Amino acid sequence: MYDTHEWIGGMHWGWWVFLIACTLILVYLFSRWSSPEARGRRETSPMEILRRRYATGEISSEDYAERKAHLERDLS
């Protein structure tokens, strides 16, 4: 009645290809949507964080100079 070469697990092979393709597309779209670049965010460097903290008054000038020198030494 049915040709067993065309059926895999009760489904025609074309449906398996379709389902796998849809799954791969969904995984790709989700990974793109969940990435920081897709949400408009970028990685913030430690120096940028230090500058922002100094600009908002969270740290003193002495702390800023000390931490900046430490970061510059580590980044070199």
| More confident of the two residues 43 and 70 | 70
Question: 7 forms bridges with which residues in the sheet?
Answer: 12
Inter-CA distances, 17 with 26, 38, 69, Å: 14, 29, 57
Domain boundaries, given as residue ranges, for the chain:
1-43, 46-75
Q: pLDDT, tens digit, for every residue of 2-43? A: 555 555 566 677 888 899 999 999 999 888 777 666 566 667
pLDDT score of 30: 87
Residues 6+ apart with CB under 8 A from 37: none
Average pLDDT over residues 42-53: 86
DSSP H helices, the chain, are: 13-33, 46-55, 61-75
Burial classification of residue 9, based on how many CB atoms lie within 10 Å of its CB (0-12 exposed, 13-18 middle, 19 or more buried): exposed
